[in-house]
Structure 1
Amino acid sequence: MKSTIKRYIESCLLCKQYNVTLNNRYGHLRLIAPPEGPFLLIGIDYCGPLKRTPRENYSETSYCSATTKQQTAYDHNRLDPQYKIGDKVLTRIHGNRGKLDPKFSPIPKVHVADLRPIIIN
């Protein structure tokens, strides 16, 4: 079966152009030249076809829409914090932490400037 497909592709000019075999080149790997400036070399990760949810939506898009809905509801119900310069503020600890670890830092930080985002020191 594979040999007949290979023969058919070799006989057709369009098939030769668009059905390129994706084999790695033989030999050692070659280094990529470092970029000459910032953001000139962009790496892209590709993930295969996404799974469909029971309602025939893609799982990634439904996750993003659910996250957006939750964020807008949270922002709508939350009061805008009113800080003055010199106020002491507890900051939230982000990242990996255990279930019983504290959510906020035990040492308060001082509010430095009235800018958005809030700057603390």
Structure 2
Amino acid sequence: MKASLLVVLVIALCTESAFSLKCFSCKDAPSNIHCFNIATCADHEKYCLTTYSTKGLGDDREQSITKKCAAFCPSIDLNIGIAGIATSCCQSSLCNVSGASSVKTSYTMIAVGVLASLACILRLGL
């Protein structure tokens, strides 16, 4: 009886490690096509995290994608005009195959920022 319990315990432990979370992994890649490395997550890491960031305007716009295992899932969706960042998380192996929602440059936010700066400069000048 003890031997069979020991066998069941060993099988359970081996099965648990066989089902460790796996995520696609890359750091500051210029596009999603460069993010196909696979990382095995630590036991405390329960999420596959994708971070998509962009900065600049038009033809000078740069983007980068970072994918990794994570212990928690930060919910970020920030757009300040000429720069932005968005995250997405999932909890099954290799679920972060696609990028996070892309961040669009907001020309409205740029215009508001320029107008606010201009108003501040004019006010200080008086």
* Structure 1 length-normalised TM: 0.23
Larger fraction in strand: 2
* Structure 2 length-normalised TM: 0.23
Q: Indicate the structure whose relative CO is greater, using CA pairs within 8 Å and at least 6 residues apart.
A: 2
- State which structure, 1 or 2, has the greater radius of gyration over its C-alpha atoms: 1
Larger fraction in helix: 2
